[in-house]
Amino acid sequence: VFSGSAVVDKDNTAGFGKGALVALYTSARERQTQSMAYSTDNGKTWKKYANNPILTADIPDFRDPKVIWNEERNEWILVLAAGQEMRFYTSKNLKEWKFESAFGKEYGNHGGVWECPDLMKMKVEGTDKEKWMLICNINPGGPFGGSATQYFVGEFDGHKFTCEDEPSETKWMDYGKDRYATVTFSNTPDGRNLAIAWMS
């Protein structure tokens, strides 16, 4: 089992029960595929979905699904790392996913493997505007060697991410040598997005 993410399925879209915890993760064997597990006892025990995998691809690096709920479109969004780009998918039930678009081939830093994406909507400080931020972790290729986390700011219409920066621009979340695999927690009581990263 490689990296992934988990959500609370409060409306029972997947059919495992209202409020079930659903985790999507990468199964790493000869090929990397995306699988699902669920818990109906608040995370004490988990069951793997009987019809895994739920997503496959014909490339070797295909991993780290991040799932969020899109309130505007009333559906789930999944973003994952596929080679040197991020791919976006949508679903109504967390089981059946439709490919929407890809981003990143000509954007940002490509000095290492792209991994552990994250996608979130954030308020622009001091305004009433909101923008989307896409996180991309790379290893190696950081500004001081080693691993690092870059990010892109722009718009996401439920299908496609459009970056507002020039393709050659790289925005680093941190300039330390050991920041990696940054992921976020959403729906906190005060509305913040909390990011936690690995150290080497």
What's residue 92's pLDDT?
98
Phi, psi of 71 (to 5 degrees): -65, -35
Q: Based on the number of CB atoms within 10 Å of its own CB, is 173 exposed (0-12), middle (13-18) or buried (19 or more)?
A: middle
Say whether pLDDT at 200 is over 70.
Answer: no
What single letter denotes the amino acid at residue 121?
K
- Work out the burial of residue 20: count CB atoms within 10 Å of its CB; fewer than 13 is exposed, 13-18 middle, 19 or more buried: buried
Which phi and psi angles does 85 have, rounded to 5°? -150, 170
Structure-token match 């496959």, residue found: 56
Average pLDDT, the chain: 95
At 59-80, the pLDDT tens digits run: 999 999 999 999 999 999 999 9
Query: Which pLDDT belongs to residue 78?
Result: 98
* pLDDT of the residue at 108: 97
Q: Would you state the pLDDT for residue 197? A: 92
User: Looking at the predicted structure, is the pLDDT value of residue 138 above 80?
Assistant: yes
| Lowest mean pLDDT across 31-35, 63-67, 145-149 | 145-149
Q: Is the pLDDT of residue 172 over 90?
A: yes
Say if residue 74 is exposed, middle or buried (CB neighbours under 10 Å; 0-12, 13-18, 19+). exposed
Taking the model in full, what pTM does it have?
Answer: 0.95
Predicted local confidence at residue 168, as pLDDT = 96
Q: How far apart, in whole angstroms, are the C-alpha atoms of residue 154 and residue 52?
A: 33
Instruction: Check residue 146 and give its pLDDT.
Output: 85
Mean pLDDT of the region 93-121: 96
Q: What local confidence, expressed as pLDDT, does residue 180 receive?
A: 87
